[in-house]
Amino acid sequence: MRVGELSDGLERASLPVREVRALQPLIDRISRAKVVMLGESTHGTEEFYRWRRLITQWLITKHGFRLLALEWDWPEAVKIHRYARFGEGRDARTALERTERWPTWMWANTEMIRLVEWLRSHEGARGSGEPVRVAGLDLYALFESMEAVIRCLEEISPLMARRAKKHYACLDRFSGDEMLYARSTLKFPRGCEEEVSRTLEDLLRLRIERAGREGLAAERLIDAQQSARVVRSAESYYRTLIHGDDRSWNIRDRHMLETLRWLLEVEEGKAIVWAHNTHIGDYRATEMAREGLVNLGGLAREHWGEEQVALVGFGTFEGRVMASRAWEGPMQEMTLPPAKPASLDAAYHALASKLECPQVVSIFDEKSHPALRDSLDQRAIGVVFDPEHERGNYTATALARRYDAFFHIDRTSALEPLVLPFEREKFPETWPMGR
């Protein structure tokens, strides 16, 4: 691909964003969809959270979106949902500071406080309008979800709580350690698969009418049912992960889709999803398809149709980022070096310089320039990052096929975490991983 063709195609599809109102064409494009997914090329960039928050507020206020689904664990997100909808707890900061699962900075940060407090004020001001649900799509929280199932059932049906404890006893000996359970399946491959499935089957037979039709009573049943789904999916995920099988990625993203489908049935509305670009950008427009991997964005397009799913990627050229040099290591504010030449990120940097605006949004359609449908490297950084070893942080991307729109912010800053202390580039080096 010639550089001139790519530059010409990007410029035709893009417009500068100097203020929030400049996003009107983007909102017009995505608000018609049933599902809008807002991505990020790192898990530690403040501007991604800020602009996603502003777009989310616009979609909720003006276009009737009622579900905000996050790349977060269900038990953690429930705390935020209960505060935003029902006022449970003192404030958003208190709820977010209770975030325990690493990486805490992804959700326990100052931009999330702004979002959650806005959601709370929206709930208080809506009168007879429709409420908004905040939910987690991820599946890492195996043992936390087990506890949530039992806790909810003890309020709804003590008999079913005793049955659940009996089934989940299979996992008791692992003392809340998911990787210890995963390693045990090397000797016992079936693990606790049958037991966790029985609890889910029991719960799905329980109708909302038995728990109360509305309010917190119904919320407890919803929480119990989804927590049981998480336990089933997480058990499968960790059992597969220990064998080094790529299917663990597919289990995770299929669980996200299953959760999103169920939530849309519960809420009967439209959804906004926040997740990494590697989850929301259509897998068929990247190397993932060739490797046998799927993701949430591509699966959603296949399920609801491309007209009903709007995928918006976010990226940057350089700046600062919050990440860690090791899985479950200390958080660190690091330098995000300039993107490599001949990448999509570098092409956006050149366009931002030409437009004299640090924020650029591109909107794609079937008439988009052919150069935007060819593959070029695009950066993707997870929660684990090593600025000195950038080679593994790029994936071949056909931009206009992977996304419906792309928001480039030329120079970005690190998230401001709530859970301190953190270190600044002092941890031993390891390899980039973790999205």
Average pLDDT, the chain: 88
What pLDDT does residue 340 have?
94
Among 32-36, 84-88, 302-306, where is mean pLDDT lowest?
A: 84-88
pLDDT tens for 90-144 read 899 999 998 888 899 999 999 999 999 999 998 766 554 578 999 999 999 999 9
Q: Quick one: what percent of the chain has pLDDT higher than 90?
A: 65
What pLDDT does residue 348 have?
97
What are the boundaries of each domain within the chain?
1-138+269-435, 139-252
**E-assigned strand segments in 266-386:** 270-274, 309-323, 332-336, 359-363, 375-379
Higher pLDDT, 274 or 366: 274
Contact residues for 209 (Cβ-Cβ < 8 A; gap 6+): none
Topology given in CATH for the domain delimited by 1-138+269-435: EreA/ChaN-like  fold (3.40.1660)
pLDDT, mean of residues 350-358: 97
Assess contact for 15 and 364: CB atoms under 8 A. Answer: no
What pLDDT does residue 280 have?
98
Contact residues for 155 (Cβ-Cβ < 8 A; gap 6+): 220
Which residue type is seen at 56? T
pLDDT, mean of residues 54-64: 96
Euclidean distance between CA atoms 361 and 15, whole angstroms = 6
Side-chain-side CA neighbours of residue 214 (13 Å): 2
pTM: 0.91
pLDDT, mean of residues 366-390: 90
- 14 phi and psi, to 5 degrees? -115, 160
pLDDT tens for 243-296 read 766 789 999 999 999 999 999 998 888 999 999 999 999 999 999 999 999 999
pLDDT, mean of residues 192-211: 73
